[in-house]
Each structure stands twice: as C-alpha cells, then as structure tokens.
Copies of this chain bind each other. A is one copy, B any other.
C-alpha cells in the first residue's frame, strides 16, 4: 500500500511517498481503508522540524486525523464491525477522565504512526463511528480541531446569551464558532481578511473585526458588550493576541489557551489575570468520551464542518504548503 512518511530531512523534503506492506489487525485492533485525512498546524511542525527533532523516530507516517471504512477486525473486537465508517481518535489511549502524560504519548502522527496511508490499524477504542451525514473529508476534520474547540467550550459552563470570541479562521476557531452557536451563545470573530470576514458573518458571527485595520480590537469588543467584556475567548493566537484578550475578557471570564500561531512565548501581565479573576485553561484536544458527546451534538444538529479544500493523496505536500500559506478558511483535507 502507499503511504506518506516523514523522514529526517529538512523542511518539506521530509515528507516522502513510500510503499509499505498492508498492516494486519491483531487482537483488539481494526483495519481501516482510509478515505480522507485532515491537516493541522501541528503537522506542519512535525514535517518541518523533522531533521532537528531527536524525539521522533527515523520515520513515521504523519497526520493524526483520518476517516475511513473498517475492512477487517482482529479477535476480541466487540464494538466495531466491518463496514463501519469511522474517524480516528487523536490520542487512542485517552478514553475518558483527565489528560495524563501517558495518554498524551499515544497521539498519532508524531511519535507514533499516523493516518496518511491507504490502510491504517487502530486499537478498537481508537476509532469512533462518524455521524451519518458527514463525508469522509468532513469526518476527518473532527479528531483534533473540532474536539479541541468542544473541550474548550464544555469544560466550564457556557450559557445561552454568553459571548464567545474566536481568533482567525482556522479549524479550531470555526468549530468553536459553530459549537458556541449550538449553546445559544453569540460569537465575535476576528480576521485579517475582508473576504473571510464575509464568511464569518455567513456562519453567524454577530460582530466581526479586521485585526489588521483595528489593531486595538479589544476596544470595539468592550463597547459591543456594554463595557462588560467577553465570557470566553478561544485563544489561538499567542504572543500577538493575549494582551488584547486580557483587555476584553470579562470579570470571571475564561480564556482557553490552545494554539500559538503567532509564537509560543508571550509576555503577560499577571495583574490583569488576578484583578479580573480570569481563568486561563490549557486545552489539549480531548478524550474519546468528549468525542462521543460532540458527535451527539453534531448528529442532532446536522452540523457541517467547514472544509476549505481537499487535495488528492498524491498532492499531500501541496496541501501542507497551502496550509502554511494561511489562505484557508476552515480545514484543509486530503482525499485518499
């Protein structure tokens, strides 16, 4: 079977197409014919840092998020059947309960092989049935981006009538927009592109701000919220955004620390965290149990993930480059 591999080379050259024998499911495992995969910003880091990353094995199959059809099952598999349309779980060992280092080590596509292959083998608990109304590309969008957004919004109580701020138009941000609206919240969206702002409005953002033209975007947000501020901020920016976020978060509000698109090391003013009783919560994807709850909501509301574009399997590198260009709105996928 054909697979993409990341080997220890510099930059995108680390990503190469290869041939491997088709895997066989052992006891408790399932074999899946992959139909689609989805890219995350993290995958870019894996590919581009490959030559310097001593933790990484000599080569791995990249990408954590995939969807496909079960074509064979090992012995002792109880809850999955041949023919099931399934999605992979980002960390197959995070079934439920809180995150641990051990669960985290099971993440796909970095220390362990991922899903960018014609066939993949997963432990039974490492796959989850797709909502029936989703294509494979849409289903592949869920394991990391959607679950991160769901985990962020569901950890503390979110009430109808609340205000949620999203930053940019990547996968996590758009899922957060869609989920926040399911909760009856209103959503404020930031983007640097006039075109994307139109699409944020179409998705239901009640206020949109262009952060290029309105650098001090905390100010209009404070005005819009009557001087109170935002209840929950899905903080994916990092160094360029956190200071503004602290200015427009409400007393007692929540900032979910998710990404670091603009840099992982940030300067923050502890004074504003303590004076406003703010909670910063680190969010690292989520458990299988959260995934099941999220799928309930997606299924009930026939929610459709926003897929920007899907590249053919052979063009995986082009898909990566497209993600890096930051032109996308929603998820970038690969059809296998």
Contacts and interface: CB of A to CB of B under 8 A. Distances in A.
A322 to B, nearest CB: 25
A97 B99 contact: no
Interface stretch (A58-66, A81-89, A271-279): A271-279
A231 to B, nearest CB: 10
Contacts of A276: 99, 282, 284
A282 B270 CA distance: 8
Interface string A20-53: 0000000100000000000000000000000000
A297 B159 contact: yes
Given A279-B280, A282-B279, A264 B257 contact: no
B265 A267 contact: yes
Contacts of A269: 264-265
Tally of this chain's copies: 4
A99 B267 contact: no
A95 B264 CA distance: 34
B293 A159 contact: yes
Interface stretch (A133-141, A182-190, A305-313): A182-190
B160 A297 contact: yes
**Residue among A160, A183, A252, A289 facing the most chain B CB atoms (10 A cut-off):** A160
A67 to B, nearest CB: 20
A315 interface: no
Nearest to A227: B101
A300 B160 CA distance: 8
Interface of A: 27, 95-101, 104, 154, 157, 159-162, 179, 182-184, 186, 238, 242, 251-252, 257-260, 264-271, 273-284, 287, 289, 293-301
